[in-house]
Structure 1
Amino acid sequence: MQYKLTEQMEKALEIAEKERKGSLSPCILPGHLLLGCLNDGSFPVWEAKQKSLIDPSFVRESLIPHEETMSYEFCQPFNLPVCLSTKLVLKQAVNYMKNYNQIFLNEGHVLKALIKTGQTKGLLTRDQENALLNIATISRDMILSLKRYNSTGGEYKYIRMLSNQDGEKLIRFIQEEFGSRWTDSIQQSIVQQKSSICVAMDQDGEEIVGFAAFDIQKPGFFGPMGVVKNRRSKGIGESLLHFCLKEMSKMGYKEIIIDQAGPIEFYEKTCNAKVIPSIDLDCY
């Protein structure tokens, strides 16, 4: 399985391992994994916990070792002892990650897998499961102040605004890499000749390896953004983001919205964006 872990997912696994040792279990149970995700410091998870009154201590006290602990293995690449149920949860989480066309496994993937495979039964109520699914495992809008924004723009230098000749090439790139979910809005922007799309090219300047856009959905909204899968985690996405943020700052924007941010941790680390809290207390 070729993937990476977000820092919060690494922290969640560390917590799960500590919970395992504290319970004297020979392997990590799904409940230990749940505790790790509930306490990794993610704002969406914290918000779901607050709104549905999830109590990690109740989860911990409800853990009951079962026959699976007699048979376990060291799951790679984590190198942690896990029972069969935990291994299946992690595999399902990786499947969710792949379905979202991502390469970083995060706590949202794992929480969704825990709930959908029935491993939270007896540990969480139905309302608590729904709160996690609808608050902590989905894309969220984020807000970013540009008043004091200052950045070198990232290390990848082969980025420029979209030219008239690049339109069809960009649409093909998006369809091949991400399907059709963004093509209509990007196509409309190209037709209207909006200067709000930038592209990352390969070093020869021939092939598109990434793109980012703003003012597509609404004025002051950043997104969508995407990088070809085999070039991710190379700094291209970070450079595309900063390129657009600089343009938006020049246009006079003081505050922007990052539309439906999937990799929340990426935007938190790269530009200090904040998740917009849910307004509807009954949203789950």
Structure 2
Amino acid sequence: MKNSKRLLRILNQAQQSASPITCSAFLRSYLKEEGIIQKAVNHYLLQTNSLATLTDSLDELDRGARATLYNRYLLTDYLYKAIEFGSARAEKFNQIVMTEAHVLEGVLSSLSDTGTWRCILHLVSTPHDLLVTLPIPRMPMNLDMDVKAASLPDKKEILDFVRRHFGSRWTEQVQRMLIEDNGVVLIVREKSRLAGFCCYQKQNADRAVFGPMGVRKDCRDSNYGRSLVLSALHDVNKNGFREFLISEAGPIEFYERILPLKLYTKEKG
């Protein structure tokens, strides 16, 4: 299991303020990051004036805990258990990268008063819809990979690929996209083999909804996912849509690196 770049930054910064790294040191370093979920957590803590209460709870959790070495980091046992929790969560969802969200979920789940922090747990552990407003003044560059719209002869190969690598739920979604007039499925190959796919649906005249997207495990970290996202974005932008909604985005850091995003909630529209 790999660690995300953001998770490594948080651990490196926390290591400078605490040895071993405590759960509260991890939280403080987490809150210094500029991600959209970090901003939402910071806003919640500010609005409820509850940062001191949370850090006190975390310090109580770590009081008297032994230290465990994780890679080159010396962690309290509870933070180490949170990392084990995060690794298991990432693996459960067929991911190869553990993020700071996985670990923070493990930290908060260790507290005796977990219910008090339900709002933060929801923010860090639930897939979110992300909104890109178009047009973008400087459209991100698409990579030179052969991303194509799927055709009917590709249908069986695509469905077999999705079923084998991502399960029946996504297979049903992709199948609908392949037959519906407002659905688009894009594919990318590694030589002659399918490496990944993505879908988007024209929800109305202004909005296209992106997802699901999946890349074969052995092809991840090779820019296939980035090429798929940007190919869909360029299509949507070219066709005059005003909004590109990424549905239930899992690895938010991946999207943040390449797109200007904001959290989307149905209540706010």
Q: What's the TM-score once normalised by structure 2's chain length?
A: 0.86
**The residue matched to 1:270 in structure 2 has which SS?**
coil
Show the counterpart of 1:132.
120
Q: How many residues align?
A: 261
Higher strand proportion (structure 1 or 2): 2
1:68 aligns with 2:68: no
Residues of 1 paired with 2:41 and 2:236: CA distance? 32
Q: Does 1:211 align with 2:197?
A: yes
Following the alignment from structure 1 to structure 2, what is the Cα–Cα distance between the partners of residues 103 and 160? 25
Equivalent residue in structure 2 for 1:113, among 100, 106, 118: 106
2:35 paired residue among 20, 35, 42 = 42
Q: How far did 1:149 drift?
A: 5.0
2:5 matched residue in structure 1: 6
Give the aligned partner of residue 23 of structure 1. Answer: none
2:98 is equivalent to residue 98 of structure 1: no
**Amino acid of the structure 1 residue aligned with 2:27:** L
**How far is 1:178 from its partner?**
1.0
- Is 1:224 aligned with 2:215? no
Shift of the 58–14 alpha-carbon distance from structure 1 to 2, 3 Å rule, reads: farther
Cα drift, residue 159 of structure 1: 1.6
Counterpart contact for 2:165–2:216, Cα < 8 Å? yes
Structure 1 stretch displaced more, 84-93 or 169-178: 84-93
Return 5+ residue gaps in structure 2 as ranges.
none
For 2:153 and 2:177, locate their aligned partners in 1 and report how far apart those are by CA, in whole Å.
14
Does the C-alpha gap of structure 1 residues 54 and 209 become closer, same or farther in structure 2, counting only changes over 3 Å? farther
TM-superposed CA distance for 1:34, in Å, is 3.0
* 1:124-179 CA-partner distances (Å, limit 9, x unpaired): x733x201121222111111122135243114x12211021111111111111111
Which amino acid counterpart does residue 63 of structure 2 have in structure 1? H
Q: Report sequence identity in percent.
A: 21
Question: What SS is found at the alignment partner of 2:130?
Answer: strand
SS at match of 2:213: strand
How far 1:245 moved relative to its partner?
A: 1.0
Distance 1:4 1:184 in 2: 31
Distance in 2 of aligned mates of 1:108 and 1:220: 27
The Cα shift of 1:240 comes to 0.6
SS across alignment from 1:173: helix
Post-superposition Cα deviations, 1:224-271, rounded to whole Å, max 9, x if no partner, equal: 111001111110001111111111122211222111111111111112
Give me the whole-angstrom Cα distance separating, in 1, the residues matched to 2:222 and 2:173. 27
CA separation in 2, counterparts of 1:180 and 1:30? 37
TM-score by length of 1: 0.82
- In structure 1, stretches of 5+ residues that fail to align are 21-25
1:66/1:250 Cα in 2 relative to 1: closer, same or farther (>3 Å)?
closer
Amino acid at match of 2:23: P
Contact 1:216 1:223 in 2 (8 A): no
Q: Distance in 2 between matches of 1:176 and 1:56?
A: 44
Give the superposed CA RMSD. 2.5
Q: CA deviation at 1:19?
A: 3.3
- The residue number in structure 1 matching 2:142 is 153
